[in-house]
Structure formats: structure tokens, C-alpha cells
Amino acid sequence: LAKTTQPISMDSYEGQEVNITCSHNNIATNDYITWYQQFPSQGPRFIIQGYKTKVTNEVASLFIPADRKSSTLSLPRVSLSDTAVYYCLVGDIRVGGATNKLIFGTGTLLAVQP
């Protein structure tokens, strides 16, 4: 399983764009990159997933360079309610894939201030 490295914490202010970068130098060909959000005493919530280039949904964008050794989660115009821990996970989560399970790293605690 590809190990991921993220900043332990980040600070931001309301209305700013936040970019959280994750390093995964040993990512394998069949690995996908998935980001989850977790609030205290709650289960993780899926944010976004991608394989390469750029993926965008209603809450975030995910940028993946050509070498796929890193990825950046971009949260546009954060609010106080975006204060949470954000996890980057890498693995072959295709049906029947080699990983078939999610291994969580340390995550990034994003603190949004007014």
C-alpha cells in the first residue's frame, strides 16, 4: 500500500481557498486517490476521488500531476464548518483490486477561523 504524507495541520480564514497537498511517492499503477473529511466523533465522509489530472465536484477539486506522486485537494471559499480532519488515501480500490481496503494516514487538521 502506498504510504501518504500530509501536513499535520493547516490554518485558514473564512472565504479563502485552501489547498491541502498529499505526497504518495510509491503510488502504484492501479491506485486511486481518495479524500475523506472527518468531524470530531463522527465517521469519515467521502469528499472526492481521482486517478489523474483534475476532478471536480460540488464541494472540492482534486489536482493530480502527471507523475501521480502527489495530489492536492482544493476547497474553495472555506467556512467555519469546514474545520475538520482531511485524509488522503491511496489504493487500488477497484472491485477485485489488490488493495480492497482503505488505510488511513495521519490526516490534516484544517482549522478555519473567522
Partner 1 sequence: GAVVSQHPSWVICKSGTSVKIECRSLDFQATTMFWYRQFPKQSLMLMATSNEGSKATYEQGVEKDKFLINHASLTLSTLTVTSAHPEDSSFYICSARQAGSYEQYFGPGTRLTVT
- Residues in contact with partner 1 by CB under 8 A are 32, 36, 38, 41-46, 49, 87, 93-95, 97, 100-107
Q: Closest separation between CB of residue 82 and partner 1, Å?
A: 18
Residue among 77 and 98 whose Cβ is closer to partner 1:
98
Cα–Cα dist 102/100, whole Å: 7
Please say which residue, 43 or 114, places its beta carbon nearer to partner 1. Answer: 43
Residues 57, 39, 19: CA angle, nearest 5 degrees: 45
- Cα-atom radius of gyration of the chain, to the nearest Å? 14
Q: Which is nearer to partner 1, 2 or 93 (CB)?
A: 93
CA-to-CA dists, residue 45 to 59, 60, 84, 101, angstroms: 12, 13, 11, 16
Segment (H or E) for 72: strand 70-75
Q: Whole-number minimum distance, CB 113 to partner 1, in Å?
A: 20
Q: How far is the CB of 111 from partner 1 (least distance, A)?
A: 14
Q: Which is nearer to partner 1, 45 or 77 (CB)?
A: 45
